[in-house]
Structure 1
Amino acid sequence: MHQPWPVIERRAESTAIVEALGSTDGPRGVLLDGLAGTGKSTLIADSAASRNRPVKWMIGTTAAQHTPFGALAQRVDDTSPWKLAAMLSDSHKALAQEVRNGTIVVDDAHLLDPLSATLLNQLATDGAVSLVVAIRTGEPAPDAITALWKDRGFARITLGCFDRGETDTVLTAALGGPVECTTSERIWTTTQGNPLYLRHLVEGSLAAGSLRCSDGIWHLRGEPAITLELGLRLHRQCACAPLAARRVLALVAFGEPLDLTVLGELTSQESMLAAERFGLVRFSSEGSTLVARLAHPFLGEVVRKSVDVPAARRIRGELATRLGEDATGPIERIRAAELFLGSDRKASAPSLTAAAADATALCSFDSAETLARAAAAGGGGFQAQLIRAGALAWTDRGDEAERLLSALDVTGSAESDLVRWAVLRAGNLFWNLDARRRASDVLDSAGTHVTTPAGLDCLNAARATIDVSIGHASAAAKTACRIRDSSTAPPGALMWAGSAGCLALSLIGRGYEVPPWARQALSSADSDTSALRFAVGHGEVLALTYTGQFDRAECSAQQYLEMARNHDVAWFGMSSSFGKLELAMGRLDEARNRLESVIAILGRSNPVWRVLANLLLAQSLALSGRQTDGIAAVRRAEASFGENTLLYKPDLAIARAWISAGSGDLGAAIGLARRAADTAGEYGLLAVAAEAMHTAVRFGDRSVASRLTALSNVVDGFLIAPMAAQAVAMAASDCSGLLSAAARFDQLGARLLAADAYAQAAHSYRRAGDRRHQLGTSARAYSLAQQCGGARTPAILAAASPLPLTTREHEIALLAATKLTNHEIADRLAVSTRTVEGHLYRTFTKLDVSDRAELAETIRMENGQ
Structure 2
Amino acid sequence: MAPIWQIVDRPAEFGAVRSALTGNESCGVVLVGDPGVGKTTLARAVAGSLRSQVHWVASTQSSRSIPLGVFAHLVGTSVSRDATALLASARESLVSQGECVVGVDDAHLLDELSATLLHQIAVDQSGRILATVRSGEPVPDAVTSLWKDGYLRRIELQPFSKEQSVRLVESVVGGRLEGLSADLMWESSGGNPLFLRHLVEGSIDAGTLRKVGDVWQLRGPTAVPSGLASLLQDRLDHAGPDVLNALRLLALCEPLDIHALTELAGDDAVDAAEACDLIRFQQDGTVLNARFSHPLVGDVVRDRIGHATERRLKGQLVELLRRRELSTAASRIRMAQLSIDSDQLLDIDLLISATKDAIYLFNMPLGQRLAKVAFDRTGSLEAAELLSRTLLWQGRPAAAEAILARFSPDDLDELQLVRWGTPRASHLFWAMGDVERAHEVISLVRERTTHPSLRLFVEAAAAAMAVHENRIDEGIAAALQVLDNPLAPGQAVEFAAFAAGLAMPVAGRGDEFEPIAARCRADQKPTDGMIRVMVRYCDVLALTHLGELDLAGRRAAEYADFSSVGQFLAWAIAKIMAGVVATARGEFPDAVTCIEQALAALNAETSLPWQLPGRLLLARAYAALGRTDEAERVLNDAAEHSGPSAAIHEPQRLISRSWYAAAKGMERRALELARAAAEIARQSGQYALEAEALHHATRFGDRSTAPRLAELTGVVHGSVVGLLARHAAAFAAGDAAALDVVSADFESAGLMLSAADAAAQAALLHDSAGDRRRTNESGANALRLAEKCGGATTPAIKAAARPLPLTPREREIAELVAAGLSNRHIAEQLVLSVRTVEGHVYRACFKLDVADRDELAKLIRKKS
Taking the aligned partners of 2:672 and 2:527, their CA distance within structure 1 comes to 45
Note the alpha carbon deviations across 1:183-242, whole angstroms, 9 max, x for none: 222212211221101111111111111111233322222222132211222223222221
Taking the aligned partners of 1:608 and 1:592, their CA distance within structure 2 comes to 19
Taking the aligned partners of 1:379 and 1:667, their CA distance within structure 2 comes to 63
* Greater mean alpha carbon deviation, residues 87-96 or residues 659-668: 87-96
Whether 2:133 is the aligned partner of 1:131: answer: no
Structure 2 match to 1:334: 333
Query: What's the TM-score, normalizing by structure 2?
Result: 0.88
Structure 2 match to 1:627: 628
What SS does the corresponding residue of 2:211 show, helix, strand or coil?
strand
Change (3 A) 1:394 1:4: closer
* Greater mean alpha carbon deviation, residues 676-685 or residues 326-335: 326-335
Structure 2 match to 1:385: 384
Taking the aligned partners of 1:364 and 1:524, their CA distance within structure 2 comes to 19
What SS does the corresponding residue of 2:609 show, helix, strand or coil?
helix
Structure 2 match to 1:213: 211
Q: Which amino acid aligns with 1:612?
A: P
Structure 2 match to 1:446: 445
Taking the aligned partners of 1:640 and 1:252, their CA distance within structure 2 comes to 46
Q: Which amino acid aligns with 1:235?
A: Q
Taking the aligned partners of 1:718 and 1:691, their CA distance within structure 2 comes to 13
Structure 2 match to 1:725: 726
Gaps of at least 5 residues in structure 1 are 803-865
Task: Indicate conservation of the 8 Å contact 2:224/2:300, yes or no.
Answer: no
Structure 1 match to 2:197: 199
Task: Indicate conservation of the 8 Å contact 2:74/2:90, yes or no.
Answer: no
Change (3 A) 1:750 1:518: same
What SS does the corresponding residue of 2:9 show, helix, strand or coil?
coil
Taking the aligned partners of 1:429 and 1:563, their CA distance within structure 2 comes to 29
Structure 2 match to 1:48: 47
Structure 1 match to 2:782: 781
1:404-415 to 2 correspondences below 5 Å: 404-411=403-410, 413-415=412-414
Change (3 A) 1:138 1:720: farther
What SS does the corresponding residue of 1:58 show, helix, strand or coil?
strand
Taking the aligned partners of 2:328 and 2:580, their CA distance within structure 1 comes to 37
Structure 1 match to 2:231: 233
Whether 2:675 is the aligned partner of 1:674: answer: yes
Structure 1 position 713, deviation (Å): 2.0
Structure 1 position 663, deviation (Å): 1.9
Note the alpha carbon deviations across 1:809-847, whole angstroms, 9 max, x for none: xxxxxxxxxxxxxxxxxxxxxxxxxxxxxxxxxxxxxxx
Tell me how many residue pairs correspond in the alignment: 796
Taking the aligned partners of 1:402 and 1:353, their CA distance within structure 2 comes to 20
* Greater mean alpha carbon deviation, residues 599-608 or residues 181-190: 599-608
Structure 1 position 801, deviation (Å): 7.2
Whether 2:5 is the aligned partner of 1:5: answer: yes
Q: Which amino acid aligns with 1:126?
A: D
Structure 1 match to 2:593: 593
Note the alpha carbon deviations across 1:19-74, whole angstroms, 9 max, x for none: 111123x2211121121111111111111121121111232322333543333247
Q: Which amino acid aligns with 2:138?
A: P
Structure 1 match to 2:362: 363
Structure 2 match to 1:713: 714
Change (3 A) 1:50 1:438: same
Structure 1 position 686, deviation (Å): 0.9
Q: Which amino acid aligns with 1:766?
A: D
Q: Which amino acid aligns with 1:776?
A: E
Structure 1 match to 2:824: none
Identity across matched positions, percent: 35
Q: Which amino acid aligns with 1:72?
A: F
Task: Indicate conservation of the 8 Å contact 1:40/1:159, yes or no.
Answer: yes
1:520-669 to 2 correspondences below 5 Å: 520-524=519-523, 526=525, 528-565=527-564, 566-603=566-603, 605-669=606-670
Note the alpha carbon deviations across 1:161-196, whole angstroms, 9 max, x for none: 121221221112101122222222221221122110
Q: Which amino acid aligns with 1:236?
A: D
* Greater mean alpha carbon deviation, residues 185-194 or residues 294-303: 294-303
Structure 2 match to 1:519: 518
Q: Which amino acid aligns with 1:338?
A: Q
Structure 2 match to 1:810: none
Task: Indicate conservation of the 8 Å contact 1:586/1:752, yes or no.
Answer: yes
Structure 1 position 396, deviation (Å): 2.0
Task: Indicate conservation of the 8 Å contact 2:588/2:790, yes or no.
Answer: yes
Taking the aligned partners of 2:591 and 2:535, their CA distance within structure 1 comes to 21
Structure 1 position 573, deviation (Å): 2.8
Note the alpha carbon deviations across 1:393-438, whole angstroms, 9 max, x for none: 2222211221221322454655333323322222222122222222
Structure 1 position 334, deviation (Å): 0.9
Taking the aligned partners of 1:66 and 1:268, their CA distance within structure 2 comes to 35
Structure 1 position 262, deviation (Å): 0.8
What SS does the corresponding residue of 2:19 show, helix, strand or coil?
helix
Task: Indicate conservation of the 8 Å contact 2:3/2:201, yes or no.
Answer: no
Change (3 A) 1:628 1:92: closer
RMSD: 2.2
Taking the aligned partners of 1:372 and 1:617, their CA distance within structure 2 comes to 35
Whether 2:251 is the aligned partner of 1:253: answer: yes
1:212-361 to 2 correspondences below 5 Å: 212-326=210-324, 327-361=326-360
Note the alpha carbon deviations across 1:638-694, whole angstroms, 9 max, x for none: 132132211111111111111221222221111110110010011101111111000
Task: Indicate conservation of the 8 Å contact 1:356/1:387, yes or no.
Answer: yes
Taking the aligned partners of 1:82 and 1:575, their CA distance within structure 2 comes to 70
Taking the aligned partners of 1:136 and 1:551, their CA distance within structure 2 comes to 48
Structure 2 match to 1:703: 704
Q: Which amino acid aligns with 1:12?
A: A
Note the alpha carbon deviations across 1:434-461, whole angstroms, 9 max, x for none: 2222222222222223223322221111
Structure 2 match to 1:119: 117
Note the alpha carbon deviations across 1:366-392, whole angstroms, 9 max, x for none: 222222222233336232222222222
Note the alpha carbon deviations across 1:534-586, whole angstroms, 9 max, x for none: 22012111111112211111111122222233332332233223222211111
Q: Which amino acid aligns with 1:700?
A: G
1:690-839 to 2 correspondences below 5 Å: 690-800=691-801
Q: Which amino acid aligns with 1:491?
A: G
Task: Indicate conservation of the 8 Å contact 2:101/2:127, yes or no.
Answer: yes
